[in-house]
Amino acid sequence: MNVRRGILSITAALAAAPGCGPPDARFVNSERIDDLHRPVQQAVADALVDHFGTPHELVAWLRLPVNYGGYAGIVSAAPEANRRNTFRVELDPPADELEPGQELVWISGSLLAAPAGEQPVPWTVADYDPETMLITVDAAGVSPDDWPADWQPAPDDAFIVAPGGRLKHGRALYMEHCMHCHGVSGDGNGPTAPYLDPRPRDYRLGLFKFTSTGTGLKASRADLALTIRHGIPGTYMPSFLLLGDDELQAIVEYIRWLAMRGEFEKRMIDELYVDHSQQALEERKRDEAQQRSEGSPPDETVDEAVARYLEEEFPGVVDSLGNDLKDAWEQADLEDSVFKPAQPRLPAEPTPAAQLENALRESRERGLALYYSDKAKCATCHGPQGRGDGSEIFAFRDIPNTNPVQKYAEPGLFDDWGQKIEPRDLTRGVFRGGRRPIDIYRRIAVGIKGTPMPAFASALSEQERWDLVNFVLSVPYRDEPMTPPPQSAAPAPAATTAQIQPSPGAGPSGGPR
C-alpha cells in the first residue's frame, strides 16, 4: 500500500517536473555550409547571427524592408538648453500615445553613443504629448543635468520606439500556425513535413511560386497574404481565412524576414563556394605547394589569404547582400511590379449575351489550337489530353550548376527546390495558384517562378494568352478528352500514353464563363 502510494507520488512528481513547454527553437543552417572550409563556416554562421539573430533573440536589421513594428521617429527640433531630454519629434506611423517605459533605440545622432567605456544606455520614453509632439526621454534614470556634454539631440536624429513588436508578434503566430510544416527556419522541414507531398515551401531561396509580380521579381506582400488567406488547393496548405487581418500581416512580415534570412545565407554560401569550399582549399594548397616546389612561392599562404579575405572583403560582401535583398523585396511591392493584362479577357460590356457566348466559344477553340501548336507546345508537358502526362515527364534531366554533371535520380521535371514536380493535370480543375482567370493568365504569361514553367509573355499575344486561359478553364468540363483540331498543320504530338479515341461528333461543351 505504501509502496504503491510512493510509486504514485514519484510518477506525479516526474510528470509535473519537466512540463510540456514550447520546444527550444533554433535556426537550422543550410547543409551546404558543411562543404565550406572551417573558418569560413564560422564566418557565415556569425554573420547570420549578427544580422538575424536566433529565434529567441531576434535581430531587426534596419537595412531590410521589413515592418518590424514600433514607431520610427525623427527629431524635428532641438530641445531647449535647460531640458535636453524633451524635444519635438515626428513619428511614423503617428502615435496617439506612447506608454511610459517603452523602449527607445537611437539609430543616429549624438545620443547613440554610450559614455566612453560603458554599456549601451537603455533609453525609454518617459512622456509623449501627441498635441505638441514633444517627447521626454529617459536614460536609465539619469537626470538630464548629469548627461555628458556631448549628448545633444539635434534635428534629423533618428530613433525607433518599441522596435520589434510586430516581428515578435509575427514570430509567435508563425510558431503556432506555420512552424510545424514550414520549420523554425522556414526551410519547409518542420516536424510534419516528412509526411507531406508536395512538401511545404522552403522560403530560403526567396522564391514563391504563385505571385502577381512579373518575371524575376519577388512575391509582394499581397501575394503572400493571398496564399495564406486562401491556402493552396491540391496541397496541404490550408486556408487561414479565420485569422484576423492584423495577424495575417504580422505573419507575412515574419515570413518575408525568414525568406530574407534564408536567401542571405544561400547567397553568402554561393559567394564563398567557388574559392572557399573544402575542395577549393585543397586545390589551392596543392597549387601553393607546387609553386613552392617550382621556386616561385606566393606572397601569402593560403591560410593567410583566407584570413585576409574574411577580414577585408567578406564584410563588404555581406553588406552588399543586404542591399540586394532590400532592392529586390522593395521592388516587389511596387504598383508597377504587378503584371497586369493590357486587354480584358472578354469583350467589354455592354455586349449582347449571344455575342459574348460566341466570343467565348471561339476563344476556346483558338486556345485549343494553341495548346497543340508549335507556338506554345503545352502538350509537351501537360500532355496530349491535358492530364499532365506529356513526354517531358519521361526525360532524364541534368541538375543545373553541378560539376561533374549529375542527372536527377528520376526522370521528369524538377523545381528549384530539387523536388520532382508534375505538370498540372488540367482536367481536374484544381489550380494551386488560384482558379480565377487572372491567376491562370499570370501563370501562363509570367510562368511559375522556381519551376520549369516558362514565361509565355513574349511568345504569345494578349489575345492568345486569354484564349489559352479560356480554354484551360473549360478543360475540366469537356465531355470527352481533348484532341488536336483537325485543321492543325502540326502532326499529333508523340503519345507516350495510350491515346483514348474520342467518340466522333461531340464538340467542346460550355464551361464556366
Partner 1 sequence: MLKRHPAWRLIGAVLLTTALFVASGCGGGAPAEVSVNVKSSEAPQPASEIGPNGGTPPSVTPGQPGRITGTVTFDGTPPSLPLLADSSKIKPDEASVCKPELIGNDSLVVNPDNKGVAFVFVYLEKLPRGVTAPKSELPTLVFDNKNCRFVPHGIFVQTGQTVNVTNSDPILHNTHTFPKRTPQFNQAIPPAGAPLPLTYARPEQLPVEVKCDLHTWMKGLHLVLDHHWGAVTDEDGRFELPELPPGRYELKVWHERPGLLERSRRVQVDGDVELNLSYGAARFARYEGPRPKSVTVASR
The verdict on 319 binding partner 1 (CB under 8 A) reads yes
User: Of these, 452, 476, 481, 485, which contacts partner 1 (CB under 8 A)?
Assistant: 452
C-alpha cell at 354: 449571344
User: Of these, 322, 429, 481, 511, which contacts partner 1 (CB under 8 A)?
Assistant: 322
**Helix boundaries (H) for 178-244:** 179-182, 221-230
* Cβ–Cβ under 8 Å, residues 472 and 507: no
Segment interacting with partner 1 (CB under 8 A) among 91-99, 102-110, 220-228, 359-367 = 102-110
Least distance (Å) between residue 459 CB and partner 1 = 4
- Whether the bond between 198 and the residue before it is cis, its omega within 30 degrees of 0, is yes
Question: 275 to 294, contacts with partner 1 by CB under 8 A?
Answer: 275, 280, 283-284, 287
Helices 221-230/245-276 angle, 10° precision: 120
Question: 460 to 489, contacts with partner 1 by CB under 8 A?
Answer: 460
Residue closer to partner 1 by CB (options 163, 383) is: 163
Query: What DSSP element (H or E) covers 420?
Result: strand 420-421
If DSSP codes are grouped into helix, strand and coil, which group holds residue 328?
A: helix
The verdict on 215 binding partner 1 (CB under 8 A) reads yes
The verdict on 149 binding partner 1 (CB under 8 A) reads no
> Distance between CA 420 and CA 104 in Å, rounded?
49
The distance from CA 426 to its chain's CA centroid, rounded to whole angstroms, is 27
User: Which positions from 171 to 190 touch partner 1 by CB under 8 A, shown as an x/- string?
Assistant: xx------------------
Segment interacting with partner 1 (CB under 8 A) among 164-172, 220-228, 238-246, 355-363 = 164-172
User: Of these, 195, 405, 486, 487, which contacts partner 1 (CB under 8 A)?
Assistant: 405
User: Of these, 84, 168, 229, 428, which contacts partner 1 (CB under 8 A)?
Assistant: 168
User: Of these, 39, 55, 234, 347, which contacts partner 1 (CB under 8 A)?
Assistant: 55
Strand-pair category, 413-414 with 123-129: unpaired
The verdict on 398 binding partner 1 (CB under 8 A) reads yes
Segment interacting with partner 1 (CB under 8 A) among 126-134, 194-202, 222-230, 393-401 = 393-401
Residue closer to partner 1 by CB (options 308, 513) is: 308
The distance from CA 349 to its chain's CA centroid, rounded to whole angstroms, is 39
The verdict on 342 binding partner 1 (CB under 8 A) reads no
The verdict on 371 binding partner 1 (CB under 8 A) reads no
Residue 230 backbone phi and psi in degrees, to 5: -100, -10
Segment interacting with partner 1 (CB under 8 A) among 73-81, 335-343, 457-465, 473-481 = 457-465
The verdict on 46 binding partner 1 (CB under 8 A) reads no
Q: Single out the residue of 56, 78, 60 nearest to residue 69, CA to CA.
A: 60
Least distance (Å) between residue 194 CB and partner 1 = 15
* Cβ–Cβ under 8 Å, residues 395 and 412: yes
The verdict on 391 binding partner 1 (CB under 8 A) reads yes
Segment interacting with partner 1 (CB under 8 A) among 122-130, 136-144, 244-252, 454-462 = 454-462
User: Which positions from 2 to 21 touch partner 1 by CB under 8 A, shown as an x/- string?
Assistant: --x---x--xx--xxxxxxx
Residue closer to partner 1 by CB (options 238, 298) is: 298
Residue closer to partner 1 by CB (options 129, 311) is: 311
Q: Single out the residue of 215, 201, 212 nearest to residue 256, CA to CA.
A: 201
Residue closer to partner 1 by CB (options 319, 357) is: 319
Least distance (Å) between residue 125 CB and partner 1 = 15
The verdict on 22 binding partner 1 (CB under 8 A) reads yes
The verdict on 119 binding partner 1 (CB under 8 A) reads no
The verdict on 150 binding partner 1 (CB under 8 A) reads no
The verdict on 303 binding partner 1 (CB under 8 A) reads no
Q: Single out the residue of 382, 396, 487 nearest to residue 444, CA to CA.
A: 382
If DSSP codes are grouped into helix, strand and coil, which group holds residue 397?
A: coil
Least distance (Å) between residue 295 CB and partner 1 = 14
DSSP letter at 139?
E
DSSP letter at 125?
E
Residue closer to partner 1 by CB (options 410, 479) is: 410
Q: Single out the residue of 120, 122, 106 nearest to residue 159, CA to CA.
A: 106
C-alpha cell at 56: 529567441
Q: Single out the residue of 460, 217, 209, 450 nearest to residue 341, CA to CA.
A: 460
The verdict on 274 binding partner 1 (CB under 8 A) reads yes
Other C-beta atoms lying within 10 Å of the C-beta of residue 224? 24
The verdict on 156 binding partner 1 (CB under 8 A) reads no
**Helix boundaries (H) for 231-313:** 245-276, 278-294, 302-308
Query: What DSSP element (H or E) covers 110?
Result: none
Strand-pair category, 134-139 with 103-106: unpaired
Q: Which residues pair with 136 in a beta bridge?
A: 86, 127
